[in-house]
Amino acid sequence: MDFLKELGIKQKNLGASTGLDWIGTKEREEIEIYSPVDGEFIASVYQASAEDYEKVITKAHEAFLYWRSVPAPKRGEVVRQIGLKLREYKKPLGTLVSYEMGKSLQEGLGEVQEMIDICDFAVGQSRQLYGFTMQSERENHRMYDQYHPLGVVGIISAFNFPVAVWSWNAMIAAVCGDTNLWKPSSKVPLTAIAVQNILGKVIRENNLPEGLFSLVIGRGSTIGERLINDKRIPLVSITGSIDVGRHAAEAIAKRFGKAILELGGNNAIIISKEADLKLTIPAVVFGAVGTAGQRCTTTRRLIVHEEVYDQVKTALLKAYKSLRIGNPLNEKNHVGPLIDKAAVELFINALQRLKKEGGKILYGGEVLKGKGYESGCYVVPVIAEAKNEYEIVQEETFAPILYLIKYKGDIQNAINIQNDVVQGLSSAIFTNNLREAETFLSAAGSDCGIANVNVGTSGAEIGGAFGGEKQTGGGRESGSDAWKLYMRRQTNTINFGTKLPLAQGIKFEI
């Protein structure tokens, strides 16, 4: 395939890189990558060893000692060039994202566009790493705070966004003066290798040291455990399940490191009786079936007022019946495959549990077979009636299952249902009632990190800080002031007088 050659993907690839050199040997355990699109073999990767990891982290730390002294606007210039290079490779990289992961080509290209957008954002941020000036209670004293580079930032990314979420962290960290060590999901390592090849071009063109952007592909037990326990990595950003995040957070906390946790979501859209359904239904469908339900911001629960419940159900059934399921590289198709057959099993098991608990499947649930579905990873998205208290509804199933839940009375009843899960990532309400919208956004409203009005749960822009509450982890990435997490904060006091007054009026004479 031409796009693989253009991105420097070989039939067999090494699994560790310092940005300039690829490290390892072909004697390591080999991961074979098959596309969920058609079941075809793409390429293989030799997993990094503990020795490879040590070489990479050593170079990353050495590069930090240099990079932290480079003026932030000049660091931003390097990130600007990365954005330009990504523009050159948008089509082949977006195609690889789609083919390796299974999301639609439009979403694959959109993911690369997110990378480009965060580069642009980070360039501007490189001139805005602001501190604050405070008024001292002591005469002839000045106080201010400032931010310094933190160190090597570890980034552990998930399969569903193979490149975008890495870039949210890496580009912001880079302008903050940090270097990056990336451990991608072993389900989608080829996109990470392709990105590393693109970065290498910018590093060479600017005569930069190796180690600014590093990559290690390997087992969690080998590479992941070393990364989260490594005292040379002051901050680790992790995207994954709640269980993965809990384990990592405990390990990082034991060494007093910092963690950005982007974990599970169980996102709901509330549909008020005063909602504009022409606006609502397309947002629900994209939120529920986009990326085949494999987004952390996927719409999983639909909380609908009883007065419009039947109308919403009818409109959704009509919309789902019109969905085209198939090869995601064909832009006419809406829904591609799940990542692998293990994900299909989770989908099937979730539906079995739903039925046992009393839920009713209104549409979908089949695993598609035959021509065009040879990979065995294509399923028909599901609409089901359920109750919020069902155990399966309380969990996050990474598949296109939408639970319809009816509510009565005022909007607070719907908000209470929405908040009654352990996850707290994304949420939305569709209503034309100003009081309902403002209640939803108030302190008594949604308890999620993201709360939208007349906008769906998925498809966040990079300008806002992204993250959730409760067991979603509480971390924030990307825009707003998320940059502060990648730096160490320092308060400074300067005495420019001839006396030494103490704070709080304390007297100490010798």
Positions marked catalytic: 262, 296
Residues whose CB is less than 8 angstroms from the CB of residue 128 and which lie 6 or more positions away in sequence, other chains included: none
- Could you tell me the CA-to-CA distances from 306 to 208, 273, 276, 288 in Å, in that order? 61, 8, 15, 21
Residue type, 493: T
Sign of CA dihedral 442, 443, 445, 448: positive
Residue type, 369: K
Q: H helices within 259-329, ranges in order? A: 277-289, 309-321
For residue 345, give the H/E element and its range: helix 341-356
> Cα–Cα distance between 203 and 200 in angstroms, integer?
5
Residue 303 CB neighbours (<10 A): 23
Bridge partners (DSSP) of residue 487 are: 149
Half-sphere exposure (CA, 13 Å, Cβ side) for 262?
Answer: 25
How does DSSP assign 122-154, residue by residue?
Answer: HHHHTT-----EE--SSTTEEEEEEEEE--EEE
**Comparing C-alpha atoms, which of 137, 168, 170 is closest to residue 154?**
170
Asked whether the beta carbons of 57 and 17 are under 8 A apart, the reply is no
Asked whether the beta carbons of 457 and 428 are under 8 A apart, the reply is yes
CA angle 39, 41, 45 (to 5 degrees): 130
- Mark 148-176 as b/e (b = at least 16 C-beta within 10 Å): ebbbbbbbbbbbbbbbbbbbbbbbbbbbb
Asked whether the beta carbons of 16 and 24 are under 8 A apart, the reply is yes
> Cα–Cα distance between 184 and 214 in angstroms, integer?
11
Half-sphere exposure (CA, 13 Å, Cβ side) for 41?
Answer: 8
Asked whether the beta carbons of 218 and 13 are under 8 A apart, the reply is no
Tell how far CA 403 is from the center of its chain: 23
> Cα–Cα distance between 304 and 310 in angstroms, integer?
9
**Comparing C-alpha atoms, which of 293, 327, 324, 328 is closest to residue 105?**
328
Q: H helices within 68-137, ranges in order? A: 72-88, 90-101, 105-125
